[in-house]
Every structure is written in structure tokens, then in C-alpha cells.
Structure 1
Amino acid sequence: MSEPDRTVYGCAVAETAEPGSVLLPGHDVPLGRYTTVRRLLPQRPRRMVGAWCFADHFGPQDVTGRPGMQVPPHPHTGLQTVTWLVEGEIVHRDSLGSDQTITPGRLNLMTSGHGIAHSEQSPPDHPPGMHGLQLWVALPEHARHGEPRFEHHPALPVLADGEGGDGTVTVVVGELASARSPARVHSPLLGAEVLLAAGGRRALPLDPAFETAVLVMSGAARVAGVDLAPGALLYLGQGRAEVAVDAEGPARLFVLGGEPFDEPLVMWWNFVGRSHEEIAQARDDWMSGRRFGAVTGCAAEPLPAPGMPTVRLKARDRHGRILQPPAGDA
């Protein structure tokens, strides 16, 4: 997908008062014909948080009388997609034959393995609002060549008001305090939604071995002493056993965390791989109708892949540093 001129939300990249914390602005990216998202990962100063390698925040948006989200069939390799809604309704269809409607508070988790195709579309008779997150998790080497898989989890564990502070915490993936998500992941990971009422305060326990980041979906909050509003990602680094979250008004936040992901990645279009050749092969397979299968039940034409760049794609580590290919490799 091509990107429009970047719109920065509320801040420039900045070191915060706490060591290791960085406030990262998002930028606008079109998603299909009808939806614009705020991309929070990857960014040049911070490509990943644990194995989380991609984060889009969309909405809140009034889609009354409009198509809503309409993303035609497209391929993925080497990743998991995590779809989380707080408003709206989206129908997921994939080349495994899955046909699953997702509504707020439920989790869609798709594991691409070696290759899968899917579509995401608001149904014709959809709710008036749309708001949510689309997240990617990079698969480690031992899992990325496996068979594709789709999971839908209608019930997730919740830490209620009083268990560590005010509000509620829904554990979407991974484990937090006494709650563990049923979602299957392939590296130590955390994804959790925090919902606070006005005047709410929560102390979230963290794994010090994890990198952690927090985004605000709605409202405003003070996180680890930093004022945070929608449209930016606060990267908190490693080594924290706890983070404090305060909200003067109602606020909804999402916490991303995980052990640092040390495998080099090449990310291009909808593919996560390890080399230029691997990405080029995935593109060729998609355009030739190989590997990914067909998405049934979706009338939209599959998305064509963009042309490969004129320069070689380079593997980068989690800090964005280009890794040199082995001697003799082109």
C-alpha cells in the first residue's frame, strides 16, 4: 500500500523523563479504499516491541451509510494477525475456509505460517461506529514454516476492579498477573486492554525481561509519568516490574510486551521473511496463484502485490540496523 503524507499526532519522537522511555508519534496510512489507520509500528526509532512488529489503530470513525472496512483478499507469511475491536463488526474470511464475524471484546488470531490469504470486511448491515486495532506478531524460525491456523476466542480472562487497582484489564494474548489468554502464541508475549473510569488508577505488573509499550485508544492517561493521548506509542523499554496508569477522564489503553525478538526480519507489503529472495518468492507465488489458496465467500477481487523495489531488501534487527549478508551473497 502506498502511504499519504504523514500526519503526526500530538508529539515528535522524544525521550521522556524516565530513562529508556520514548514517545513515538503515529502517521496516517490508507487501508483499502475506505479506511485510514494510524500506524504506530514499525517506526524508524523503534521497529518492534517483543515480537510485535506492526500496530495499526483505526477509528473511532462514524461509518453510518458508508462501507466501513473493506480489505479484499490478500496474503501473509511469517506472522500472526491480532484483530481487536471496541466498536463495529468485521467479517474475517480466509483460505482455510474460516468465515468468522468479530465484534467488540472478542479476539481473532490468524497464524499465517508458510502462507495464508484472508479478507476483512464490514458486513452491509454494520454498526454505526468502527474502532479497533490490527496487530502483527513476527513468528520465530521454529514456527514460521508451519501450517496456517485461525482461532476465534469469544471469552478472554479479565482482571476486575480491585485486582491491582481501578478499572478492568482484559488479557488478549499472553499472561498478566493471575490471568492467561487461551490464544496460542509462539514467543513470550503480552497484549492487554486496560479500561479506566474517570479518576481511575492502575498499577500493572510487568515482566522485567519484556520490552513494553502502551498506546491510548480513547481518552487520555498518564503512563509512567508521561501524558499520553491517542495517536502515539509510549515505548517503556525493559527492566520494569510495574507501570502506573492514571486517568482523569474515561480512558482505554492497550499494552504491548514481549521478550526482545532477536531474529533479523525483512518486512515488505504483507510478508515477514528473512531475505530478499524469500519475499520475492512469496510475491511471485501470490501473483501466480500458488501457496496461499483462495478466500471463498468474498466477492472482492484479490489485491495485486506491488512491484518489487528496484533495490535489494535488507534484513534488519529489532533496532532497525541493516545486517550484512554472508560473504559471497549478492
Structure 2
Amino acid sequence: MNESMLERLSKFEVEDAENVASYDSKIKKIVRSIVSSFAFGIFGVFLVLLDVTLLLADLIFTDSKLYIPLDYRSISLAIALFFLMDVLLRVFVEGVARFLDKKHPNHYRVYNLCRRTGTMVCALLIAFEIFLTAEESLYYFGERRTDKTHSNKFQGVETPSQNRYVGYFAQVKHLYNWNLPPRQILFIKRFIIYSIRGDVCDLEVQIVMEKKVVFSSTSLGNCSILHDIETDKVLIDVFDGPLLYDDVKVQFFSSNLPKYYDNCPFFFWFNTSFIQNNRLYLPRNELDNPHKQKAWKIYPSEFAVEILFGEK
């Protein structure tokens, strides 16, 4: 990293120490102006009406069919509020870059509002060419985000799939000149799971694409599952698997494995356009859930998942 880049990064510390009060004041003014704007007010009224409509629909239509506790009826409100925050935070990197360069040249302050903020910040650091690689960007953000005066708990981008997509972003910038790579349409031929402990005779795999389950091993005749004890592998051969493209999520289930995030033992996301040589190999630290230290007693360091693809 060259000297000018280090000087640019050092401004984070200087601004933190000298201008906290002024920045907080500016942020309060910005938030106040947004909240008091006419457009925000109209949207807020619309959102309230939507919430009331959904809640009334829950109360009217579910009472006649089945009992649902009141706490569960509030899910409509939660979904609507989540949708609001998702829309407000889903900003393109180029738009963020233009805003920062115009309003705050050479120094920025980022408040981490939710877990996806870190992913976008890491992408922004790559877009600004402050860092060239995803690894450098993720490491820097993790170091800056973790408040070691209170705890050593890592507060950076922890989820492996999110790390993977920061890597995808770096490839789009450096290898594809800001263009998406050509779409690859693939199908899965085989899953290989290495060093999985315990009785997993009921192991199931589920593939999700475009928010729909496109494959489930619970369907009869669509795959075969073999636990090879001698080689300590689970082989899942997929027959007539669906064609996959763009973003794909793979989940694994077993009654003998504890469930963690996403209500399953382990899972991961990938994008077919970035698959090379029709193979994807993910060690334990690149799988969602097994990457956490609390899961290591279940998943040894040799634990991994490999996918072999075929092309359309």
C-alpha cells in the first residue's frame, strides 16, 4: 500500500478524535431533514396504511380458520418495516461514491446499521481503489469495526457467503471492467461432503434459486446418498438436476445435526457465473454456520463441501 493511501486512511483516526461532536451534529441535521421531508412523510403514511391493512387481514381471515397467537400476527408489521429499511439501505455503490466525493471529499464516516452494511462498505473500499483485493478490504473493515476497548469479539463481515460476494465484486471491477461475467447455466452432478461426524443417514439437501426451492432430496428418485465410512465422505449424486444460474443457495438438513442460522445445520450461497472448471470447493471456514467456533465440536477442520457441475 503506497504512502498516499496510508495518509488517506489515517484521516479516519484524525477525524474520529477531533470532530466527533461536529459530525454527530451534521448527522442529526441530515436525519432531521430527511424525516421532515414531504416525500418521507407521504411514504410513512402509506407504510402505516399498509401495516394496518395487513394486520386487519391477519385478524379477519385467520380467526375463522386457525388460531394464531397475537405475537405471530405482528409479523406483517415486521415484514413491512424490514421492507422499508431494506429499500432505504439498498443503494448502488456508484451513487454512494458520487455522493461522498461531492459532499465529503477525502474523508468519510460510516455508521454500521445492519450486517449488510459491512458488505457494502468493503465493496466501496474496492470501488475507490483504497484496497485492490477483497481480503484486504474485509480485513481493514473488521479491524476498524471491532471496538477492542470493550471486547475482542470480531465485528467485521463474518458470514462466509458475504465474504464470497465481496470477492465477486472485486472480480467484476478488476477482471471484467465493471461488467458482469457471462452467465453460466449449470446443473449439479454430485455433492461431496468431507469429514462429517455422527449419524447422517437422514441427510437432506435443498437448492434455492430466485427465492424458490428448485430441488429437494426428499423427492423420490432424484438423487442417491451414500455415506462412505472408509473414506469419511458423503456422496450425493443428483439425477436430472435443475438448471442453475445467477445466485444459488444450498442448504443441508439432518435431525442429528444442530440447527444454527437459517434454521439449518449448514448452508452457503454462490453465483454460477463465477464457477471455474465446473467445480466449487468450500472448506469449513467458507461454509455458513460451520465457520463459527461454537460449531467446531461438530465440524472438524477437515470438514468441507465440494460440488461438481455439468454444463447445459
* TM-score, scaled to structure 2: 0.25
Q: Indicate the structure whose relative CO is greater, using CA pairs within 8 Å and at least 6 residues apart.
A: 1
Rg comparison, structure with higher value? 2
Higher strand proportion (structure 1 or 2):
1
Higher helix proportion (structure 1 or 2):
2
